[in-house]
Amino acid sequence: MYSVVYKKTAIKDFKRIDKANIKFITDSILEFTNNFSFEYEQELLKTGKIKKLQGLNEELYRLKLRTYRVIYKKEEDRLIILVVAVKSRENSYKK
């Protein structure tokens, strides 16, 4: 089973989001983490719910949650999903 670690940038992002959406996002991340497997990941890739981000030095993925995007990376040696950022769709692809 994977665990979730929130980077400081993700915690800062949560400060800009209302409480109801924070609960939805954190519950969704927990469900995503609890169900995570290679097969589950492949299914979500097919449906477009997750996507590998292109043009970056590290392997980052985007998880779609309503109008929010969770940017995460997998650290397989420690089985951790590291949440890098949580942003609304219009702000998720800006540097």
Domain boundaries, the chain: 3-89
Is residue 91 predicted with pLDDT exceeding 90? no
Q: Tell me the pTM.
A: 0.80
Q: How wide is the angle at C-alpha 13 spanned by C-alphas 12 and 16, nearest 5°? A: 100
- Residue 51 corresponds to which tokens in the numbers above? 């996507």
55: left (phi over 0), alpha (psi -120 to 50) or beta: left
Residue 56: C-alpha distances to residues 43, 48, 53, 64 (Å)? 23, 19, 7, 19
Per CATH, domain 3-89 is 3.40.50.2300: no
Residue type, 7: K
pLDDT per residue over 47-66, tens digit each? 999 999 888 778 888 899 98
Model confidence at 26, pLDDT cuts 50, 70, 90, reads: very high
> What average pLDDT does this structure show over 28-34?
91
